[in-house]
Chain A
Amino acid sequence: MATTMTAPGRVAVRMKVNGVEYAADVEPRLLLVSFLRDNLGLTGTHIGCDTSQCGACVIHLDGEPVKSCTLLTAQANGAELTTIEGVAKNGEYDAMQMGFWEMHGLQCGYCTPGMIMTANAFLDRNPDPTEAEIRHALEGNLCRCTGYQNIVKAVQYAAKQRSGGAMEPGPGTDLDFEHKDVIEHAPEDLQDWGDQLAGQEER
């Protein structure tokens, strides 16, 4: 799509982000990450460095992982973008998100959106990677909390799930809270009290 100048010093851009069409006039120098965060309010894409090292800003541009701090908004004109906000579909977390949750692949969570975007694009290309391949693929994404071990496991978890393999529960177990033998419903006294109040309201 051709880039057209609209007003002096402004560029008209159109792009589809997480399935929604956007059009805007922006400064030519506006970084894509700024556009996503400040203009569209998609603050899940983070800024962690100024030199394209940390990967906290990784999104998908026409299916490819890119560092959105290193692209101008104008360069994304006409593109289809996916950000971390577009990964879960209909409230269902995707395999990679589940992998990070189950395997404790995140601590502070600042690098996590970029990690998930990079790792998903990697599995698209290499669905059955070795550990060494995963570690290599994540070289553009830095994490200071986890020491990467559980991030690697999260990607392995997602790879297995995406290929239809059996989901092995991670160390992060999904608890059945009924084990506590605590009354599930409101206790009788509370029920009565609620009924009384409801009755009063009707009157």
Chain B
Amino acid sequence: MAATIEAPELLVGQPIRRREDPKLMTGSGNFLDDIRLPGMSYAAILRSPVAHARITSIDTTKARNMPGVIGVFTGEDLADVNPLPCAWQAAGVENNVATPRLLALGEVRQVGDPIAVVVAESVYQANDALEGIEVDFEELQAVVDSREAVKPGAPQLHENAPNNIVMHWTCGADAETVDKALAGAEVRVSQSVANQRLIPTAMEPRGSVGLYEPATQEYTLWATSQAPHVHKLVVAAFVLGIPEQKIRVIAPDVGGGFGSKIFVYFDMPLVLWLSKALGRPVKFFEDRTENYLHTTHGRDHHTDIEIGATKDGKITALKVSTLANLGAYLSTVAPGVATTLYGRMVAGCYKIPNIHVDVKGVYTNTAMVDAYRGAGRPEATFVIERACDLVADATGVDPAEVRRRNFIQPADFPYDTGIGMLPYDSGNYVPALDLALQHAGYASLLEQQAARRANGGRKLLGIGVSSYVEVCGIAPSKWIGLSGEGWGAGLWESADVRVYLTGKVSVTSGSLPHGQGHETTFAQIVADRLGVPYDDIEIEHSDTKGTPFGFGSYGSRSLTVGGTAIYKSVDKVVEKAKLLAAHMLEAAPEDIVYENGKAWVKGSPDAVKTIQDIALQAHVAYDLPSGMEPGLEAVTYYDPPNCTFPFGTHVCVVEVDRDTGNVEIIKYVGVDDVGNVINPMIVDGQFHGGIAQGIAQALYEGAVYADNGELITATMNDYAIPKASMLPTYELDRTVTTTDVNPMGAKGAGEAGTIGSTPAVANAVVDALSHLGVKHLDMPYTPERVWRAMQNGNA
């Protein structure tokens, strides 16, 4: 089964197949719902069928007497439990914070709001008993659209949030300055754009298992989690008031997250509370409709763009005003995503002298919106990349040329965009653009398009270009934290590298996978850096018991922050190994050379101590240098000095059917620059999935609420998750611009595909229709919407 290939020198940079895969491809994974504990009981949630109402009475009598029922609880029973906290509020402004309780108390504000919980001997019995709970509501008016919610007279969700405003935040130059620059611009374009609401749809829904052990007063929570340490902290200290050392959180195999599993959800503290109340382990695993109704959504922006430019396409001013629909309550990091990760990234890849961004967060009777696959940067990139095409359209300058003329130049880095983002670390945007245009055959495509238009063909050709830059590897604690951007903690990462007596190695990381292949990538780094066999290295993660605190996986931070922590721990281990080797070889430490797992005295390479020899001596400790502690282990808490800023250009080519409005992608090219790559196979896979999501937002997906707050797209039958036949082949290439931010020169790759792709598709579709007078079209580009645009534009 071994493929015969030339053995590589180093593992970093090699497409090593994943060590995670055998268990997953044989059905031996251990996902949340696979967890079985003795005496397990099962929770089912009664959810609000209405979007906004006062609860006037709840009668659980019948449910309590139904077969298999162990307990029934309502919000009244949990009245003394704190609501969930909002851990990232918008910085520098007032936030009108309203967060969800574990179970609704007095009022429901979205369809799917949890009202009561039944715990029973089986899932079937728990769900049966939901039918036995009677709730009376006094229905209130609902509002689902952020533009309606801020109008006078709109239904009000929270007393402390007048006009449903969460916060009003700005960045960049003051509005008057930018207005003046706009007024003086040679070319001025305005456009309203929507970035529609998406439903993350990790293939594994969310869930929790709670176990309380009275004898030790210890709580164990298994959760579908991208951040188990953070969940431990929040559930213990902020929600239940449990001593932090008495709670252990374990993320088992996690079936996709995409941001939606970063957050603290009601069921995490609830299953622990229930386990203590009932003396049984309790499992809750949401079904898909619950996932769609109540696990967080993404995007949902309405934005007015005003852009000023010279006649030759140089952008001189940009004003962005956004309503960000944050749903019925604030999820864990929602305001920060809509401000720091969105507003501070709207400059994109361009030198723009006058920028003003205005963001209002808005409560509506909808599911909470929080970070999703790109989190703020897809929305920012959509704004600036549509704006570039609007400038191209208004000036007659080719869209690729508009980008080229406005790019930040290599000599400008580190580059401060002037809107409060950290300085972009490094970049070289032209080569990625050129390579993408070349792969796409841009010049030839333009000719084909002109010919088709001249011939009046029924298949309209559209070419879309999107150049993006995004912020990864979040983040320096001082910048992101309460002293800066308002995040309620730090954002460093931990790593513990232990070399055992036998020379085998365990690495514990605060970063954890939900599909990204951390175990493989991290082991590649350690194998090279420490010089031990890849198979001798175990990567441990996802369990808070006995491990250093870590902030988890999101914001494309695992490699650049978590990986760097590992890298630095390995270096510390090597330093100690060299000291011990010097002692063993009776030489001065400064004369020791350490390479590829071996130490020797400079000039005497024949007398070698291997890392295994050294590890043995470090542990038996019979003969250590004076003052040296036994063991060979190093813990690192790594706080990055900056974020990283990967970039690239994507080109999408579409054919639009003039008669039906159907859009078909006939070519998709992505040229990305994520700095140095550890495992190119894994990085390509990250881009494939990201681009699929980006395309799907442009062509297919969109959460739809009825005016009364009912989620129309509440099943996979109604929400358009793309199938294999609905997506093209992605043609990928890379340029490599390294970064000084971390010693690996790596920038992060988890979200870039999603961020770069949506505007490329959008620009292609609008381009296909542009000769019919269409300047902009809101997503998703369903055949009906495109067909209507063609009729109107062509009228």
Interface residues of A, Cβ cutoff 8 Å to B: 27, 29-30, 34, 37, 41-51, 53-54, 56, 83-85, 87-88, 93, 97-98, 100-102, 104, 106-113, 116, 132, 134-136, 138-139, 141-152, 167, 169-183, 186-190, 193
Contact = CB atoms under 8 A, between A and B. Distances in A.
Question: Is the contact region of chain A dominated by helix, strand, or loop, or is it mixed?
Answer: loop
Interface in B40-56: none
Given A139-B723, A147-B691, A108 B716 contact: no
B703 to A, nearest CB: 15
B586 interface: no
Interface in B696-728: 715-717, 721, 723-725, 727
A187 B723 contact: no
Given A183-B610, A189-B616, A171 B680 contact: yes
Nearest to A134: B724
Given A51-B716, A144-B201, A148-B727, A108 B26 contact: no
Given A138-B723, A189-B616, A109 B16 contact: no
Contact of A97 (B7, B25, B503): B25
Contacts of B392: none
A37 B31 CA distance: 12
B131 interface: no
A174 B612 CA distance: 25
Given A51-B716, A183-B610, A43 B34 contact: yes
A139 B720 CA distance: 12
A146 B503 contact: no
A111 B203 contact: yes
B751 to A, nearest CB: 13
Given A175-B7, A177-B535, 15 more contacts: A34-B124, A43-B27, A47-B33, A48-B205, A50-B287, A109-B515, A110-B29, A135-B725, A147-B689, A147-B727, A169-B3, A169-B4, A169-B5, A175-B8, A187-B616
Range class of the B interface residue count: 35 or more
B689 A142 contact: no
Nearest to B723: A139
A46 B31 contact: yes
B730 A171 contact: no
B724 A152 contact: yes
Nearest to A192: B616
Interface stretch (B142-150, B233-241, B265-273, B525-533): B525-533
Nearest to B502: A190
Contacts of B729: 149
Contacts of A41: 36
A42 B15 CA distance: 32
A102 B17 contact: yes
A84 B17 contact: no
Contacts of B680: 171
Interface of B: 1-5, 7-9, 11, 14-18, 20-31, 33-34, 36, 123-124, 201-205, 253-256, 258, 287-289, 502-503, 514-517, 527, 531-535, 596-597, 610, 612-613, 616-617, 620, 680-682, 684-685, 688-693, 715-717, 721, 723-725, 727, 729-730
A173 B724 contact: no
Which of B5, B203, B516, B690 is the most central at the interface, judged by chain A CB atoms within 10 Å of its CB? B203
Contacts of B287: 50
A189 B613 CA distance: 6
Contacts of A170: 17, 681
Contacts of A142: 203, 716, 721, 723
B9 to A, nearest CB: 7
A148 B20 CA distance: 19
B608 to A, nearest CB: 10
Contacts of A30: 124
Contacts of B681: 104, 170-172
A139 B725 contact: yes
A187 B610 contact: yes
Contacts of B9: 179
Given A54-B203, A106-B21, A112-B25, A183 B612 contact: yes
A180 B5 contact: no
B17 A56 contact: no
B25 A182 contact: no
Contact of A54 (B26, B258, B620, B716): B716
B27 A104 contact: no
B516 A107 contact: yes
Given A109-B255, A179-B9, A139 B724 contact: yes
B203 A45 contact: no
Given A104-B681, A109-B25, A182-B597, A174 B17 contact: yes
A191 to B, nearest CB: 10
21 contacts: A43-B33, A46-B31, A48-B203, A48-B205, A50-B715, A54-B203, A56-B203, A83-B27, A93-B1, A97-B25, A107-B256, A110-B31, A110-B202, A110-B203, A110-B204, A146-B685, A147-B688, A147-B690, A148-B724, A150-B688, A182-B531
Nearest to B682: A104
B685 A182 contact: no
Contacts of A147: 688-693, 727, 730
A49 to B, nearest CB: 4
Which of B23, B34, B617, B716 is the most central at the interface, judged by chain A CB atoms within 10 Å of its CB? B716
Given A107-B515, A110-B31, A147-B727, A186 B502 contact: yes
A134 B723 CA distance: 11
B255 A108 contact: yes
Contacts of B502: 186, 190
Contact of A182 (B23, B29, B610, B684): B610
Contacts of B515: 107-109, 145
A171 B684 contact: yes
A85 B24 CA distance: 11
Which of B8, B24, B204 is the most central at the interface, judged by chain A CB atoms within 10 Å of its CB? B24
Contacts of A43: 27, 30-31, 33-34
Nearest to A170: B17
A101 B203 contact: no
Contacts of B33: 37, 43, 46-47
A139 B685 CA distance: 20
A178 B689 contact: no
A146 B16 CA distance: 17
A176 B11 CA distance: 11
A151 B515 CA distance: 14
Given A48-B205, A108-B515, A148-B724, A190 B613 contact: yes
